[in-house]
Amino acid sequence: MNMSNPRIPRPFFCGNWKLWGTLSDSVALATGVRDAVAGVTAADVAVSPGFVALATVAEQLKGGSLGVAAQDGYWESKGAFTGEVAMAQIADGGARYAIVGHSERRQYFGETDASVARKAKAALAAGLTPIICIGETLAERDAGQALAVVARQLDGTTRTLTDDELARSVIAYEPVWAIGTGRVATPAQAQEVHASIRDQLTRRLPARAQQIRILYGGSVKPDNIADLMKQKDIDGALVGGASLTVDSFAKIVQQGVAACTPS
């Protein structure tokens, strides 16, 4: 986040709760986060409960600034697709965002860049902001392929979006080896990939790429968020484990905002 550049996007912090919590756990965590970040006006903040809790949490947060994200969503709007949840249903439930293409969905549920692209497009059509996840595995990084893999995934997941749709999307760079492992990318490693994502977006949308938010995800914690947010092309974070308590997620938001606010 580069404060000398007036075109930088507004920071965005999204908690990814994954498979966690009862309905009452979800409401308690969401309302706790809402109260803890009530004073934060310089960033957008969202939480992503599981589907059963999503509409109830959104109802509790109605009228406030804390947003709700779905963790996935399907591209068809209705029909014989047992078990799927349509992006329009997610929007109707009160969400503003949908995470698409998380590496756990790719790894365990067979998601591909092509399916993620369809989901991103459907999210936009339903009025949601997609948070499009990309990131290399450890083997790919060790083989020197990190930038190439991320470039291919970015292209594959966004190629079918119109320029306007791409400009309204959020990209999340999440190195698979850093997710849930406690092994965070160094700020320099993350910035290198974010800069390359920004360059690729700039080639496609020269006038608007600076406005597109590129989040970092992978073992973000209160004690590493500040150094990440000081990087020029890191505009926020997608936070898994550390978003499951009010205290740690609120600290990430507050310290993340402080790190990109000129003193």
The residues of the shown chain that bind ligand PGA, judged by CB under 6 A, are 16, 174, 179-180, 217-220, 238-242
Question: Could you tell me if 98 and 119 are in contact, meaning their C-beta atoms sit under 8 angstroms apart?
Answer: yes
Residue whose CB is less far from ligand PGA, 134 or 239:
239
Q: Which residue is nearest to ligand PGA (CB)?
A: 240
Residue whose CB is less far from ligand PGA, 16 or 60:
16
Q: Is 59 a catalytic residue?
A: no
Residue whose CB is less far from ligand PGA, 88 or 225:
225
Residue whose CB is less far from ligand PGA, 34 or 105:
105
To ligand PGA, the closest distance from the beta carbon of 97 in angstroms equals 13
To ligand PGA, the closest distance from the beta carbon of 262 in angstroms equals 28
Active-site residue among 102, 104, 136, 140?
102
Active-site residue among 76, 174, 192, 194?
174
To ligand PGA, the closest distance from the beta carbon of 84 in angstroms equals 22
Residue whose CB is less far from ligand PGA, 64 or 180:
180
Q: Is 102 a catalytic residue?
A: yes
DSSP string, the chain: --TT-TTPPPPEEEEE--S---HHHHHHHHHHHHHHTTT--SSEEEEE--HHHHHHHHHHHTTSS-EEEES--BS-SSSS-TT--BHHHHHHTT-SEEEE--HHHHHHH---HHHHHHHHHHHHHTTPEEEEEE---HHHHHTT-HHHHHHHHHHHHHTTS-HHHHHT-EEEE--GGGTTSS-PPPHHHHHHHHHHHHHHHHHH-TTTGGGSEEEEESS--TTTHHHHHTSTT--EEEESGGGSSHHHHHHHHHHHHHHTS--
Give the number of other Cβ atoms within 10 Å of residue 79's Cβ. Answer: 9
To ligand PGA, the closest distance from the beta carbon of 220 in angstroms equals 5
To ligand PGA, the closest distance from the beta carbon of 59 in angstroms equals 25
Question: Would you name the residues annotated as active-site residues?
Answer: 102, 174
